[in-house]
Every structure is written in structure tokens, then in C-alpha cells.
């Protein structure tokens, strides 16, 4: 007789169904949990119905949506990492009077004011202070960018550590899922945990998943597999010969590329975007120094010609051609005109020294200067910085203003040589310049100019009221020194470019957040727990149990009646 087995099967399935509903209700707010249901089928014995049985637990998921969410996570996290860095770059560049652009305008305004009173000590101090403020602002921005890059590098290293932790946990869950499902048992809760880890992993790096037998999932990056069954490829962060970050599989030197996720965004900022911003800032500092340093070097301060001068920009090897020394300000083949003045007679003579960086080392240049001036000015190379030093003989002074050879009556004659340093040697080597340093991070006003603003070269004739050299400095404001742009225009363009990047990334992040929200809603509609539906299912199983109980009670009563009749 099948009656009792039928009833018992209904009770068992009803109880199991209530367990499943209870599990759904209990995990309604658990992140990553997927709704389950008990799939049932009619049971037969010898061709006759013998009740009901639970076939398997169905886990409601949507693989296409999950793949789209994984890809969306990667893009969103990449944009977030880059947006955070770009906003900090934007803050570092600043705007208004306190920015490099504002300080640049202040410097040229000070130049113009000093040109109206070139011998006034107050305007000279104002100009040296403005130049110092500008140099310090370059230093500040450059330092902020360097610190940001260092911080991004630390974040990238930490992200690699987090990726390795996630992949190890995913591999472990693969192993546990396989052990359960190979016995034809469901591992739905373990799959939920693994999906949540893969979701977290996709925010770190761009990945895709490949389903395998027995519930196993392989996780594949752009260039390499991260998880294969229960094994992982652990990642390592290294730097290449250029100091750029690269990710490798531990034990291998082949770089592994990531184009998305937090790690992809951080690596792009570290390797490309931040260095590009720093490089543009360096170009601005270098072009500013190159232009103004040449003018300062070829003019005269209130004290007139010099008795000594030492460069601030050295070379790595003074025995090798200058063209091989990577001088940031650059040096070309040209002629350096040195005016030598006899302090006893005030007689002045000019010597033209040819400098060819392709064939001449710094030692060669020093020797050529000494020989070209007949020993009146001795040039030497000072170790260990390998900078060029000029030293006048007793009773001699020198300058690079280009004034003509003269008897005493023409001591203050205007220059007759328009360009006394056609190759830019003085600026490149930092001789008698306004600035020292070779980048935005190192540019500085020479200390002696800050201590004594009278050293500022306002004139080219030596007369106290001559502002011709200041006029040359003021003209730099409008000169297209960088890609057809003035210094101010290039800084504005740099700040605007960063601002555009911030705006673009912000728009993308907002749009991507909307897409992910929509995808999550669709996935929730399929795999999420709906309390109303669960309560309906709970009532169904309750009625099932009540009905089975009533059925068995009726069967039992019927049998009692039948047995009593037979007895």
C-alpha cells in the first residue's frame, strides 16, 4: 500500500521546501546571495505513483548579466582611480594668483615696474621676490605631483596584494565546490561566496570568467589566467629599467597588462598621466629659465662687469662632448662673446669664442675661453659638480653684454653685438643666470641675487637708468616658447587639459554607475529574494504539510475502520 509512503514523501518535501524558503528569507539582505527553490517531481514505484520527491535545489542566477556587471565593475573602478588622481593633480596646479600662472604674471608685472625705475632698490627687491615666489611655486607643484605618484605606487602595490588574496580565496572555493558537486550535491552557498569574491576582484583588475565542470570557474585576466580550478597565478609588482610599474606573474619577468580595474587606472596614472603632467611642468620651468637666464647672463647689474662667475648647471662627464651630457636647457653650436675690461684704463676688448657641443667637452670649452681671452679670463671646471668657473686676472673684469671695444670715453656705450651667446651656453651651464636648477622641482633663484638685488641685470650699457635688458625680459611674456604658446598660455592649456580629463572621467563614472545600477536591478529581479513570493511559497508548503497530515490521518482512520470490520 502506497498511501503512507505518499504522505511521508509529501511531509519530507514540504519540510525541505520550508527549509529552503527559510534560507531565502534569512539571507534576503546578504550581499551576493542568490535565491533558491526546491525543484520537485512525481515519484513512481512499479508504475504507480508513490508520492513526491525533491530533485534538486535551483540557484537563480543570470550569467550574461553577471558578465556585464564584471566588465562594468572594471571600467567603473578604473575611472574612479584615475578620477581621484586627476582631481589631486588639478588641486596641485591650482588657479588664480596662487598658481604658477598667477606667479608668472606677477613676475612679468614686476619686470615692467622695475623697467620704469631700473636703479630703484625697492623695485629690484620686488622683482627678485617675485622670481623666488614663482620658483617656489614650481617646486611646490612638482613636489605635490611626486608625492601623489609615490602614493599611487603604494596603492598599486596594495592592490596587487589584495588581488592575490582574492584569487587564493576563489581557488579555495573552487576546490570546495568541486568536492561537493562531484557527489551530485548542490554547493549554492559556496557559489554565492565565490561570485562575491569575483565581483570584488573585477573592481581591482579587468577579468572574465569561464565555466568548467562541477561548478568550477576559471578567472582570466587580459594576458594571463589568474585562477585555474584550484590553483592561482600570484602577481608581483616590479619596476622596469625606466622606473615604471609593471605587473608580472611571480617567478616570471614577462609583464602582465591590465587595462581596467583599480590596478589598471593606478598603473596608467603612475606610468603615463602623472609623469606627463610633470614633464609639461618641467618644460615650462626650463623654458622660463632658458629665456630669462640668457637675458640675465648677457646684461649688467649696477656694479658693472664681473671678476668671477661660477655655473650652477654641471655635466656628468667634463671630458665628453656636451651634446652627450643631456643638458636640460639645451646648448647649440654658436659663439660666446666675452668683453674684457682693464680696470686701470677702462679699455675694453671683445673676444669671440666658438663653442660646438658636438665636438667640445666642458674641459674643451674652458680651454677655449681661456685661450680666446688671452688668459685675461681663466675658465676651469669645478669638481665634483663639474660646473664652469670664470676667474678674471688681476686688474681685469669681464661681461657678456656685447658692448664695443672702447676707449675710456665710451665706457657706457650701448651693445653692438645683438646676441652675445648664440648657442645658449651661459644659460645651459648656469653662468651668471637668474635661476639655478634644471626642472620644476629644482628651479630656484640664485641666492646671491636674493641677497643682493643689485646684481639683477637691468641694462646692457652699464648706465644706471638703462632698462634695455629689462625690456628684453618683459618681451618674454609674449614670446611663443612652447608649441606656439606663451608660458602663460601653456600653463593655462595644461590646467585646462587636466580639468577636461576630470570632467570626462566624472561624466563616465556617473554614466557607468547608472549602467551598473540598472544591471544590478535586473540581476536582483532574477536572483534576489522577494519576500512576498517567499511568503506565498511558505504558505504553499504549509498547506502541503497540513494536507499530507490530514491525508495520513484519514488513511489511518480508514484502515482502523477496515480492520474493525474484518475482525
To 10 degrees, what angle do helices 274-297 and 487-527 make? 170
Question: Concatenated DSSP letters for 354-389?
Answer: EE-TTT-BHHHHHHHHHHHTTTSEEEEEETTTTEEE
Measure CA 421 to chain center: 39
Q: pLDDT band at residue 2, thresholds of 50, 70 and 90? A: low
Please, what is the Cα angle at 457 between 453 and 458, to 5 degrees?
A: 100
Map residue 39 onto helix, strand or coil.
strand
Cβ pair 464, 119 in contact under 8 A: yes
Confidence band for 528, pLDDT divided at 50, 70 and 90: confident
**Least confident interval from 53-57, 289-293, 443-447, 468-472:** 53-57
Contact 277, 138 (CB under 8 A): no
DSSP annotation of 564 reads: H
Residue 73, pLDDT > 60, answer: yes
Out of 41-45, 167-171, 177-181, least confident range: 41-45
271-281 mean pLDDT: 97
Q: Which ranges in 239-329 belong to alpha helices (H)? A: 261-268, 274-297
C-alpha cell at 114: 622695475
How far, in Å, CA of 449 to CA of 451, rounded? 5
Q: Average pLDDT of 414-418?
A: 77
d(CA 499, CA 289): 26
Beta bridge partners of 391: 308, 378
Spatial CA neighbour of 205 closest among 243, 246, 162:
162
Contact, 345 vs 329, CB < 8 A? Answer: no
- pLDDT of residue 409 exceeding 60, the answer is no
Place 7 in a pLDDT band, splitting at 50, 70 and 90.
confident
- pLDDT score for 242: 92
Q: How many helices (H) and strands (E) does the chain have?
A: 13, 17
Whether 57 shows a pLDDT value over 90: the answer reads no
Mean pLDDT of 181-190: 92
Q: Write out pLDDT tens, residues 12-41.
A: 888 998 999 999 899 988 888 999 998 888
What confidence tens digit (pLDDT) does each residue in 363-387 have?
999 999 999 999 999 999 999 999 9
The Cα–Cα gap between 468 and 417 comes to: 14
69: cis peptide before it, omega within 30°?
no
Sheet strands side by side (includes 396-399): 348-355, 334-342, 396-399
Any idea which of 280-289, 423-432, 462-471 has the lowest mean pLDDT?
Answer: 462-471
Angle ∠(266,270,272) on CA atoms, nearest 5: 110
DSSP 174-202: HHHHHHHHTTT---HHHHHHHHHHHHHHH
pLDDT for position 556: 79
First-to-last alpha carbon distance for the chain, in angstroms, is 20
In a 13 Å sphere around the CA of 375, the CA atoms on its Cβ side amount to 1
For 511-521, letters b (16+ CB in 10 Å) and e give ebeeebeebee
342 to 168, 300, 301, 306, 396: CA distances (angstroms) = 81, 16, 18, 12, 5
Per-residue confidence band for 407, with pLDDT thresholds at 50, 70 and 90: low
Confidence of residue 408 (pLDDT cuts 50, 70, 90): low
3-state helix/strand/coil string of 88-133: HHHHHHCCHHHCHHHHHHHHHHHHHHHHHCCCCHHHHHHHHHHHHH
pLDDT band at residue 52, thresholds of 50, 70 and 90? Answer: confident
Partners of 436 in beta bridges: 444
Task: Kindly give, in sequence order, each residue whose CB lies less than 8 Å from that of residue 452, ignoring residues fewer than 6 positions away.
Answer: none
Of 516, 284, 330, which is closest to residue 423 (Cα–Cα)?
Answer: 330
User: For the segment 474-523, what is each residue's pLDDT rounded down to a tens digit?
Assistant: 999 999 999 999 999 999 999 999 999 999 999 999 999 999 999 989 98
H or E, element range at 255: strand 255-256
Report how far residue 509's alpha carbon sits from residue 504's, in angstroms, rounded to the nearest whole number: 9
pLDDT digits (tens, 9 = 90+) for 190-215: 999 999 999 999 999 999 999 999 99
pLDDT-derived band at 532, boundaries 50, 70, 90: confident
Distance CA 14, CA 287 (A): 83
Per residue in 115-170, pLDDT tens?
A: 999 989 999 999 999 999 999 999 999 999 999 999 999 999 999 999 999 999 99
Q: Is 334 helix (H, G, I), strand (E, B) or coil?
A: strand
306-346 pLDDT, tens digit each = 999 999 999 999 999 999 999 999 999 999 999 999 998 88
Arithmetic mean of pLDDT, 413-429: 89
436 pLDDT higher than 70: yes
Answer positive or negative: Cα dihedral of 369, 374, 377, 383. positive
Q: Give the distance from CA 400 to its chain's centroid.
A: 44
Please say if the pLDDT value at position 423 is more than 80: yes
- Residue 232 Rama label (left phi>0; alpha psi -120 to 50; beta): beta
Confirm if 107 and 491 have CB atoms less than 8 A apart.
no
Element of type H or E holding 40: strand 36-45
Amino acid at each position: 500500500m502506497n498511501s503512507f509512503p505518499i504522505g511521508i514523501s509529501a511531509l519530507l518535501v514540504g519540510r525541505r521546501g520550508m527549509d529552503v524558503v527559510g534560507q531565502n528569507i534569512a539571507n534576503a539582505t546578504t550581499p551576493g546571495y542568490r535565491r533558491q527553490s526546491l525543484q520537485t517531481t512525481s515519484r513512481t514505484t512499479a508504475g504507480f505513483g508513490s508520492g513526491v520527491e525533491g530533485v534538486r535545489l535551483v540557484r537563480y542566477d543570470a550569467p550574461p548579466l553577471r558578465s556585464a556587471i564584471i566588465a562594468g565593475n572594471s571600467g567603473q573602478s578604473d575611472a574612479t582611480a584615475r578620477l581621484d588622481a586627476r582631481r589631486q593633480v588639478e588641486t596641485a596646479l591650482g588657479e588664480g594668483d596662487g598658481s604658477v600662472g598667477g606667479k608668472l604674471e606677477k613676475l612679468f608685472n614686476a619686470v615692467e615696474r622695475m623697467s620704469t625705475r631700473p636703479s630703484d632698490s625697492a623695485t629690484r627687491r620686488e622683482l627678485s621676490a617675485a622670481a623666488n615666489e614663482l620658483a617656489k611655486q614650481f617646486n611646490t607643484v612638482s613636489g605635490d605631483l611626486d608625492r601623489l605618484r609615490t602614493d599611487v605606487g603604494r596603492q598599486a602595490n596594495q592592490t596587487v596584494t589584495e588581488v592575490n588574496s582574492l584569487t587564493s580565496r576563489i581557488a579555495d572555493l573552487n576546490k570546495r565546490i568541486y568536492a561537493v558537486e562531484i557527489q551530485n550535491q548542490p554547493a549554492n552557498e559556496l557559489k554565492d561566496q565565490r561570485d562575491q569574491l569575483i565581483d570584488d576582484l573585477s573592481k581591482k583588475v579587468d577579468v572574465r570568467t569561464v565555466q568548467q565542470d562541477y561548478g568550477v570557474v576559471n578567472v582570466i585576466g587580459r594576458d594571463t589566467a589568474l585562477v585555474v580550478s584550484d590553483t592561482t597565478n600570484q602577481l608581483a609588482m616590479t619596476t622596469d629599467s625606466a622606473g615604471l610599474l609593471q605587473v608580472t606573474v611571480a617567478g616570471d619577468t614577462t609583464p602582465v597588462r591590465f587595462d581596467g580595474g583599480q590596478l589598471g587606472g593606478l598603473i596608467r596614472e603612475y606610468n603615463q598621466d602623472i609623469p606627463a603632467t610633470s614633464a609639461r611642468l618641467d618644460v615650462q620651468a626650463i623654458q622660463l629659465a632658458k629665456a630669462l637666464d640668457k637675458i640675465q647672463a648677457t646684461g649688467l647689474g649696477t656694479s658693472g662687469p664681473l671678476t668671477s662667475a661660477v655655473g650652477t648647471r654641471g655635466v656628468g662627464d667634463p671630458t665628453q662632448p656636451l651634446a652627450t651630457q643631456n643638458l636640460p636647457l639645451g646648448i647649440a653650436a654658436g659663439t660666446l662673446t666675452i668683453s674684457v675690461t682693464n680696470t686701470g684704463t677702462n679699455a675694453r676688448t671683445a673676444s669671440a669664442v666658438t663653442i660646438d657641443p658636438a665636438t667640445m667637452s666642458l674641459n674643451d670649452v674652458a680651454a677655449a675661453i681661456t685661450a680666446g681671452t688671452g688668459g685675461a679670463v681663466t675658465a676651469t671646471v669645478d669638481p665634483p659638480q663639474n660646473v664652469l668657473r670664470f676667474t678674471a686676472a688681476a686688474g681685469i673684469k669681464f661681461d657678456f653684454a656685447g658692448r664695443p671695444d672702447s676707449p675710456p670715453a665710451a665706457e657706457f656705450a650701448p651693445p653692438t653685438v645683438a646676441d652675445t651667446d648664440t648657442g645658449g651656453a651661459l644659460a645651459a651651464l648656469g653662468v651668471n643666470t637668474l635661476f639655478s636648477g634644471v626642472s620644476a622641482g629644482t628651479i630656484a633663484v640664485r641666492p646671491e641675487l636674493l641677497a643682493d638685488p643689485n646684481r639683477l641685470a637691468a641694462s646692457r650699457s652699464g648706465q644706471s637708468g638703462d632698462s634695455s635688458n629689462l625690456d628684453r625680459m618683459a618681451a618674454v611674456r609674449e614670446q611663443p616658447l612652447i608649441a606656439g604658446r606663451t608660458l602663460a598660455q601653456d600653463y593655462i592649456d595644461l590646467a585646462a587639459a587636466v580639468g577636461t580629463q576630470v570632467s570626462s572621467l566624472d561624466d563616465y563614472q556617473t554614466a557607468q554607475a547608472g549602467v551598473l545600477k540598472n544591471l544590478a536591478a535586473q540581476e536582483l529581479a532574477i536572483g534576489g529574494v522577494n519576500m512576498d513570493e517567499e511568503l506565498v511559497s511558505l504558505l504553499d508548503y504549509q498547506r502541503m504539510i497540513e494536507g499530507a497530515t490530514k491525508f495520513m490521518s484519514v488513511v489511518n482512520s480508514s484502515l482502523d475502520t477496515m480492520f474493525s470490520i474484518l475482525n
